[in-house]
Structure 1
Amino acid sequence: MTGVFARGGLLAAALALFAAPLAAQTRTISGKVLEEGSRAPITAAQLQVTGTAIGALSRDDGSFTLVNVPAREVILMVRRLGYPMTRITVGASQSTLEIVLKKDVLNLDQVVVTGQATGISRRNLANDVATVSGADVNKVSSQSIENAFQGKIAGAQISQSTGAPGGGNRIRIRGISSILGSAQPLYVIDGVIVSDVSIGSGTNKVTRAAGTGISVGNQENPVNRIADLNPNDIENVDILKGSAAAAIYGSKASGGVIIITTKRGRAGKPKFSLRLGGGTSDLAYRNGSRKFNTLADAVTVFGAGITPFYDANRVLDYESLAYGNRPMNSDVSLNVSGGSEDTKYFLSISRRNEDGIVENTFARKTSARINLDQRISKRLNLQVGNEILNNANDRGLFGNDNAGNSIAYSLTKIPSFLDLRRNADGTWPVNQFYPSNPLQTIDQFKNGENVWRNITTSRLTADLLASDKNTLQFIAYGGVDLLNQSNLIFSPPTLQYEPVDGLPGTSANSKTTNIQRNINLNLVHGWTPQSSLKITSQLGTQFEERDLNQTRASAQNLLGGLEVVTSGTVRDVDESRLRVEDFGVFAQTEMLWREKLLFTAGARADRSSNNGDVKKFFLFPKAATSYRFTDLAPGLVDEAKIRLAYGETGNQPLYGQKFTNLDLSSVGGLGAFRVGSVRASSDLRPERQREIEAGLDLNVFRNRGTFAVTGFRRNISDLLITRTLAPTTGFSSETSNGAEMQVTGAEVSINAFPVQTPTWGWNARLNWGTSRSKVTSLPVPAFLLGTLQTGAVRIEQGKSATQLFGNDTLPQAGGRVVVPVLMGDGNPLWSAGLSNEVRFKSLSLYALLDQQKGGMLANGTWRHYDLGQNSRDYEELDAAGRKIGEVRRTTYLQVTRIFYQDASYVKLREVTLTWDIPQKWVAKTWAGASGAKLSLSGRNLYWWTKFRGGDPEAQNFGAGGVPDAIQRNRELAAYPASRSYWLNFSLDF
């Protein structure tokens, strides 16, 4: 036994002697991360020993600790948003160090997405990718994030389908990209594709804007559902504008990709941020109406029946009566972040109440988000996020109308002397000269919408290999976007227009479920064969399912005036079901040499159930390169980068286009089917966009400014078109691929920080973009999108894809005849945004000007004032002594251009005055507070334009799958635009 213990002692001693040098091979490194100049601690800086999985985050006081660091010379990489990435060589015997980071005011080291699971610093980027920070998104309170983008992205045109609370926008990036297809950008949140569907409410049953169906989405100004998101949760937004950047999303990315990254937790004690906002809004533009100076003038328009109502001394401003609500709006949000180095969290809740300038219209947005980051082990990390949203709104009854019921339509037909205000007994006067009393409609009509939405995102990262020269990661993204929308339209029998059709009272009830599920699996390999060369390769696959199911029911002649559909004697039902499955594979390699030369090559192959052949893959390649020239002329041109990129993206056929419909019919009183009149193509495939992009980036004046210029050319083939068939085929038309189009353009972005001192600061940004299109091949005769009487886009080989045609009278033998003529182009010549922010000590003033030059827009509201002989200048005389309003009214069908106008404008888009309350004052009030701000801001405060009528950005038919070619051509009785004003207080503690 003694021998056993003796041998055990010898073994223990031997192990101890062997373990001593092993322990000596590792060490602990500690220190602090500080900001240059102020020496303030930098929290949440990421530190990693290159070639290993060893890393840490700096704490609240800037301190950090790295354990088990090899006892040899190592390279420590330090990253923190807002500071350039720094590499520090740590000697073999060094155990403490101080790291000083300099602010990266130009964001040159910001990591930009270049693959499904990879990114690269902006200073090496080979594409023009626009970035909007969360701070920029929230400069001024806005209805949706798209409104917050206005004037901030070079080459982006953002138009509104309505000014109603809750939003309703459409984005076109780098010009037109489709004729019959919808070309909205793809939205990605934290790596997961989400829905931006637009769902009509059901007002078509009342307005009959497009037939008698329950709902026609593109006529009902619906909210596009990206407006659901809470802007306060956004960290930053990357906009992939070119095909070379967007090719990673293949057949769904021809409209660009908008990648939203939400805020995440940072290690340390819980940090709270509270924001309280109060605001109001008012009408931004008045059309005005005619003042009838004599009874004879009134009788000429309205007939002898107007005589008892005429009062020359009564002049009512119906725009003030209808649009004069001055709401008290609120926006409250609270978030908290914190955690340990292993577990970090970010939680937020928010509530936004926004009433409209029209009584009984509103939008209520409530959201709750939780983002968790968990380091499961040294090699395994999990990020999950979940946001629950509830949005409710009522947008009134606006937009196109063929029944005389829309509020804006009705206002154009009311003389200012006619009093339609509520009677003392609570009843409403009957408008004997038009089917409706718009003030009664505002009071009683209901257009209720309620949306519940849950967006779940996740990312799992596994470090499979980590050595000096090789790293291998498995990165998986997965998520679900579940949306349930309910719409209830109630037009009570008491409304004046309801008995007109003999069926008083209308109710429409709609239920919609939209589910998007996608999963993305990636292997990312990093290889560093030598210190000057880094190669990153990625192989990935993505699967997505989209379901959109709608059920609608409507009823007319509501017994007892009940809202429920079952109370109607005339009922209608409608149902639609949509399901799309997409599958894609993606591969990419990036090579970075000496942090100067970047070369990228990759490809994605996609198949979709929307294609004619569901098993066929379509390939979308990409390639890009850039080279940085450093220290060219220090102090003048500090750095220059040239870049060149090529990429291909697609635009999927719309659901159902590959099928020839079976329509319901009746044969001898028996139910039957008949083949539809539109024949589908068996070879339907994605539209294909090939784009080449070249650019030059300059860093100038000791990195106080950047200048970027980009030129691009897109060749788009396999465009979806409809061709007319011979009657002998049994079909009227066929949808197929076949047309081709070319789009060329240029963009300029300038960021400057000319003054940066502890007392003064000045930041300025300028963006500018232009694009032109041409139809290069059209295998069918030229055709119109729309009608010549009210203006139409003409698709014609060799011409612009956004050219506008209308009627005109031209001299011909024997007199003048009506012929179609080119009026102009709906696409603007260029658009630009200029922002400046000046800081003096704790005060800062920010302003954004947004400008558009050119483009044409039909002023439908003005036209209807003329049709009602009620426009403000109707009685003014032309050179021939004729009333100009009368000339317009009687000739507009023959001279369409009368109501088409130049849509150029300059808008004072945003203004904010901010006061950073001194910390010593904050501390005296509450020792636990770390900072506070007070700001006064406004949006759309003023605009300069020759466009007469509503908003020159408005376009009535901007959602619901409307062809991209007619996106920006008509303003028609929309909910009017408003100015908004906000007072905000924020507190950090």
Structure 2
Amino acid sequence: MRKIYSSGWPKDVLAFGFMLFLVILCGQLNAQTRRYVISGKVTDAKTRETLPGVAVRLSSTTAGISTNASGDYSLPADVAPGQYTLTFTYIGYKAVSRTVQLAENTSVTVNAEIGQDAVGLDEVIITGTSEGTTRRQLGNYVGSVSGEELNKGAAGNVLTGLQGKVAGAQITQNQGDPAGGMSVRLRGVSSVNSSSDPLYIIDGVIANNATSSVTDNQQNRLVDINPADIDRIEVLNGAAAAAIYGSRANAGVVQIFTKRGTSGDPVVSFSSTYTNSNLRKKMPVNMAPLKFGGPTDGPGALTQDIISLVGGVLPTNTTPVTRYDYQDYIFRNASGVDNNLSISGGSEKTKFYTSASYFTNQGIVKNTDFTRFGLRANVDQTLAKWATFRAGLNFVRSNANEKPYGNGLIVPVGIQWIIANFHDIQKRDVLGNLQAVGERGRVNPVSIIEDILQAQRTNRVLANAGLKLFPIKNLTVDYNIGIDNSEQEGTLFVPPYTYNVSTADGSYGGGPTLDPAQNGFAGKRNASQYLFNNDLNITYDFPITSKISSTSQIGYSYQYQNGSSTSAAGRGLAPFVQTVGGASTPAVGGDGRSEFSVEGAYFQQNFKVNNNFFLTGAVRMDGSSVFGEDQRNQTYLKGSGSYVVSSTKFWEGLGVSSWWDVMKIRAAYGESGNLTGIGAYERLNSYSTASYLGRTSFSSSTQQANEDVMPERQNELEIGTDLFFLKNRFGVTFNYYNKKVSDLLLSRQIAPTTGFTSKLDNFGSLENKGIEFLVTAAPVRNSNFSWDATIIFNRNRNKATNVGAGVTAFANNSSGPVSLISGQPIGLYYGSYFARDAQGNLLLTPAGLPQTERGVQTDPTNPTAQRDAAGQPTGTVLRKVIGNPNPDWNGSLVNEISYKKLSFRVQLDTEQGGQRWAADWRTSQGVGAGKVAEAEHLGKVPRGFVNANYNIEEWRSQPGHWVKLRDVSLSYRFGTIKYLRDLTLSVSGRNLISWDDFVGGYDPEVNSGGQSSIVRGIDFGAVPVPRSFNFGLQAKF
């Protein structure tokens, strides 16, 4: 590997760690021991059902095992005779300890009953180090979702399954393609120019979830992960929680743990789900039996609706027309299946989990679909009493047949809103060819559905391996490596049109002459991403006294990532040819490459006092090759503390313990940096090739290089409490956080005399302040009936500071006025607005039409309006903040009722406040296809009403609040039936109803900006999120 990818300083740390590893491995001493076998059965304290997968561990030793499918365990232990403690831990259950005396009898039986842990204080959380910790020790909030909870409702992929289940998270499905991109924000925006999505770690592998694409469609790369393979997910919201993971975790961490095998007879599990999806809501369209414009109104007057001015005049002539709803030709009822088969089991020393999955789902846009085939194998091997080995391999192959997306002229969802809807788009000539749809040279929507072919194919391998050593008592050495390697291929084929389509890029037509050098298009792009990480963690537990214990941890990590892409394209295709080689007019190809590395080391110290007071401190140093040598290495601190007041003698004396069960207070502070906030070479001058006088030359970028830029720096303070009452039937978790990011990486405008127009620099900051509530309740719980409820409430306020005077506009695919303004929230809509009188009513023209406000732009956010002698607006067009895509708050309400073997679950999600940018809706009015245009056709509003509103940007800013019936599910668990260990049948519905005031689109839960931190709430060419119904079966053999 070339020298540029090593920061240099951690080599000494690595050498020291390696030497320490050798010393402790070679210096292992064995006391005089005997072989004991401790066995027993673990059952649920309430239902008396056996529990597979319960972790059983003998304290002060390395001996540990999990119960098998029948709840049995047999734990061999080579230890000296004496008294020990046997602990039983299981996700969602209280930890149980049993004292065991090991003496002459080498076979000992210890059975245990464990009860569900509504509080979760003893739940084991993996916090980025080799050893887990209980929730009671954490000074920061960590959300956890079990695999069972994740898969309720058949969400179809990992991130949609997390919606509404994690406090502090805003999870948005950007569009409704079967593999459509997702965006996840934990506690608001963490950067401006780079993504605010969290770091994803799957079984120790740092995974790629960038919405990279080889077509124009953004895919959610976590769609490659099979939800049925997931055991649990842990979500760490802030820098205080993520400091131990390094600076790539500045936006939080989502840890995914897949299922592992347990000792015992093999267990075969099979699940199958059938899904039917459809368009939840159709947009109302203009069905007026006439159009504006006639034969005397100029060229094209009969083939388009003349809504706007023609030569400064609004035509009043009308022509009878028959109108169509193009949505009927674009959308469909879609179906899909999700089949999963797994086998798990093993012996005391070798455990395995293997699975195969096949998922296929049609999109609600005709001729779109997504198919995924996956194989997974996880193995855990006990090498010796002081060493264990684990490995995992996941292979995924996926294929997506798509249609173009976003702001384009061959986008099926968008094209219906940029042509008048009185064309019979299914009409064909005598040769069976489709017809043109107007003089504009637009593409017929049916051509896009039937003839344009776009596809993405992905091969992906995620692999991990780990070695854990217990060389001496209380010392653990854990080494882990991970690889995420993916190869993508994308193709786009636009056949030559048989009718007039514009020759402009994006339409790829041949014009009225069907120019053979331009008509048709073929393109191909290949991309690869390779991520490698390896981590060494050493943990030492030391009991200082009987009441005070210490845990010391030291670790080192190295991460490397490279990516490459090549592309080729051409226009002017011969008949029946779909490849780039058949193009008569080749386009300039592309070849891009990038690589960088990140490495770091940390030390963390924990103290535990009386098992109720906990302190943690940590320091970490990270370096990244994307920054210059002088700014590459940065140091970050972390500190946290928690106090379980209800576990003290003081609490016992208050007399409240009969109804107040748990009180825990906690606080945490953490620092982090954005070490991947710029591209691998963005700090350097870049050059592009050009032809000059017949020779190849180079031209410099317009952005000036800056070797001195440093990583953005984030610090966060979190304060919280966990309270539980009435025998843990009612619980409240509360978090307050204050997150600040300084040294933002932004482009600063500089004088053109420098030879550049901008310079990459560190300036400005942003902050997020918020609160999070998680309320849990179990109003009824007995042997036959239970009712559980969960409420999540999240509120975040963000703003940018010191980002310069004026307004910084951010380009996006809808030309929406997305802006950055000092002292204001991130990503505001800033543009022209309606003129209003002193009472706030629209100030109309003498013709009764709305108009743009005018005056003097004295201040970017508080301009001064002016009026002429007639009381009408005068001066320049004014601009101000006209919308904010950030919600006031978001939350969810979940109710789950169980009666014997029948379970019913309802989930409501909501987002209140905020606006959406209705780009499609506005263009539909401009071509006469929308309902506002219909009102003008029918004389319900004055002639020229659409034309008057069209260029007032405030018209596109609409209410974005919503309440959604996210999920309704009903399941029946039959239990054991003849040859089946377990059988469950279920039916569910997802995204069934949305209560909102968003008239400008299909769904206010939309984001055409993808994973962008600043471009939010844009509705432009996005496939709407469908409504789906699912029928499922789960069986174990």
TM-score (norm: length of structure 1):
0.90
Cα distance in 1 between the residues matched to 2:73 and 2:125: 28
Residue 366 (1) aligns with residue 376 (2): no
Higher strand share: 1
Q: Among residues 973, 983, 991, which one is paired with 1:932 in the alignment?
A: 983
Pick which of 904-913 and 155-164 moved more. Answer: 155-164
Pairing 1:720-735 to 2, within 5 Å after superposition:
720-735=745-760
Amino acid at match of 2:51: I
Residue 594 (1) aligns with residue 610 (2): yes
Structure 1 residue 96, shift from structure 2 partner: 3.9
Cα distance in 1 between the residues matched to 2:535 and 2:630: 20
Structure 1 residue 827, shift from structure 2 partner: 0.8
C-alpha distance 705-504 of structure 1, shift in aligned 2 (>3 A): same
Structure 1 residue 946, shift from structure 2 partner: 0.2
**Which residue does 1:654 correspond to in 2?**
678
Structure 1 residue 30, shift from structure 2 partner: 4.1
Structure 1 residue 54, shift from structure 2 partner: 3.2
Residue 563 (1) aligns with residue 578 (2): yes
Q: Among residues 72, 85, 91, which one is paired with 1:81 in the alignment?
A: 91
Structure 1 residue 154, shift from structure 2 partner: 2.0
Deviations 1:646-671 (A, max 9, x none): 00111123212201111223332211
SS of match in other structure, 2:797: strand
**Which residue does 2:923 correspond to in 1?**
864
Residue 951 (1) aligns with residue 1003 (2): yes
Cα distance in 1 between the residues matched to 2:256 and 2:67: 26
**Which residue does 2:861 correspond to in 1?**
none
Contact 1:26 1:71 in 2 (8 A): no
Structure 1 residue 314, shift from structure 2 partner: 4.8
SS of match in other structure, 2:644: strand
**Which residue does 2:253 correspond to in 1?**
257
Structure 1 residue 830, shift from structure 2 partner: 0.4
Cα distance in 2 between the residues matched to 1:277 and 1:174: 34
Structure 1 residue 425, shift from structure 2 partner: 6.2
Amino acid at match of 1:303: A
Amino acid at match of 1:868: V
Contact 1:599 1:626 in 2 (8 A): yes
SS of match in other structure, 2:628: coil
**Which residue does 2:301 correspond to in 1?**
303
Unaligned runs of 5+ in 1: 1-21, 203-219
Structure 1 residue 336, shift from structure 2 partner: 1.1
TM-score (norm: length of structure 2):
0.86
Residue 483 (1) aligns with residue 486 (2): yes
Pick which of 247-256 and 342-351 moved more. Answer: 247-256
Residue 141 (1) aligns with residue 199 (2): no
Cα distance in 2 between the residues matched to 1:694 and 1:537: 24
Residue 454 (1) aligns with residue 433 (2): no
Cα distance in 2 between the residues matched to 1:666 and 1:685: 35
Amino acid at match of 1:319: Q
Structure 1 residue 304, shift from structure 2 partner: 3.1
Pick which of 850-859 and 557-566 moved more. Answer: 557-566
Structure 1 residue 484, shift from structure 2 partner: 0.3
SS of match in other structure, 1:864: helix
Residue 163 (1) aligns with residue 176 (2): yes
Cα distance in 1 between the residues matched to 2:592 and 2:973: 53
Structure 1 residue 546, shift from structure 2 partner: 0.5
Q: Among residues 877, 898, 909, which one is paired with 2:966 in the alignment?
A: 909
Contact 2:550 2:606 in 1 (8 A): yes
Q: Among residues 612, 617, 641, which one is paired with 2:628 in the alignment?
A: 612
Deviations 1:613-661 (A, max 9, x none): 2783111111000000126523421010000000011112321220111
SS of match in other structure, 1:135: helix
Residue 516 (1) aligns with residue 540 (2): no
Cα distance in 1 between the residues matched to 2:77 and 2:413: 69
Unaligned runs of 5+ in 2: 1-30, 306-317, 502-507, 834-852, 855-864
C-alpha distance 272-188 of structure 1, shift in aligned 2 (>3 A): same
SS of match in other structure, 2:415: helix
Cα distance in 2 between the residues matched to 1:788 and 1:662: 26
Structure 1 residue 917, shift from structure 2 partner: 2.2
Amino acid at match of 2:1014: A
SS of match in other structure, 2:180: coil
Cα distance in 2 between the residues matched to 1:724 and 1:682: 17
SS of match in other structure, 2:492: strand
Pick which of 161-170 and 824-833 moved more. Answer: 161-170
Amino acid at match of 1:304: L
Structure 1 residue 825, shift from structure 2 partner: 1.8
**Which residue does 1:697 correspond to in 2?**
722
Contact 1:505 1:561 in 2 (8 A): no
Cα distance in 1 between the residues matched to 2:192 and 2:988: 39
Q: Among residues 73, 90, 97, which one is paired with 2:100 in the alignment?
A: 90
Q: Percent identity?
A: 28
Q: Among residues 741, 756, 778, which one is paired with 2:766 in the alignment?
A: 741
C-alpha distance 322-474 of structure 1, shift in aligned 2 (>3 A): same
SS of match in other structure, 2:379: strand
Cα distance in 1 between the residues matched to 2:998 and 2:344: 48
Amino acid at match of 2:985: L
Residue 754 (1) aligns with residue 774 (2): no
Pairing 1:181-580 to 2, within 5 Å after superposition:
181-202=194-215, 220-294=216-290, 303-305=301-303, 314-323=322-331, 325-401=332-408, 404-421=409-426, 423=428, 426-434=432-440, 435-466=442-473, 471-494=474-497, 496=499, 497=501, 498-500=508-510, 502=515, 503-571=518-586, 572-580=588-596
Residue 47 (1) aligns with residue 49 (2): no
Cα distance in 2 between the residues matched to 1:546 and 1:719: 23
**Which residue does 1:812 correspond to in 2?**
866
Cα distance in 1 between the residues matched to 2:406 and 2:631: 42
Cα distance in 1 between the residues matched to 2:523 and 2:779: 58
Residue 975 (1) aligns with residue 1023 (2): yes
Amino acid at match of 1:480: I
Cα distance in 1 between the residues matched to 2:553 and 2:529: 31
Cα distance in 2 between the residues matched to 1:823 and 1:61: 61
**Which residue does 2:700 correspond to in 1?**
675
Contact 1:759 1:840 in 2 (8 A): yes
Contact 2:121 2:136 in 1 (8 A): yes
Pairing 1:825-904 to 2, within 5 Å after superposition:
825-876=884-935, 882-883=941-942, 886-893=944-951, 895-904=952-961
Contact 1:453 1:481 in 2 (8 A): yes
Count of equivalent residues: 930
Cα distance in 2 between the residues matched to 1:783 and 1:615: 27
Deviations 1:405-436 (A, max 9, x none): 32223212444443211549643233234511
SS of match in other structure, 1:952: coil
Cα distance in 2 between the residues matched to 1:673 and 1:713: 47
Q: Among residues 587, 595, 598, which one is paired with 1:582 in the alignment?
A: 598
Structure 1 residue 861, shift from structure 2 partner: 1.1
Amino acid at match of 2:693: G
Structure 1 residue 488, shift from structure 2 partner: 0.6
Deviations 1:54-90 (A, max 9, x none): 3444442535354445332222222233322222222
Cα distance in 2 between the residues matched to 1:449 and 1:65: 49
When the two chains are superposed, the root-mean-square deviation of aligned CA atoms in Å is 2.5
Contact 1:788 1:896 in 2 (8 A): no
Structure 1 residue 846, shift from structure 2 partner: 0.8
C-alpha distance 105-298 of structure 1, shift in aligned 2 (>3 A): farther
C-alpha distance 139-589 of structure 1, shift in aligned 2 (>3 A): same
**Which residue does 1:637 correspond to in 2?**
660
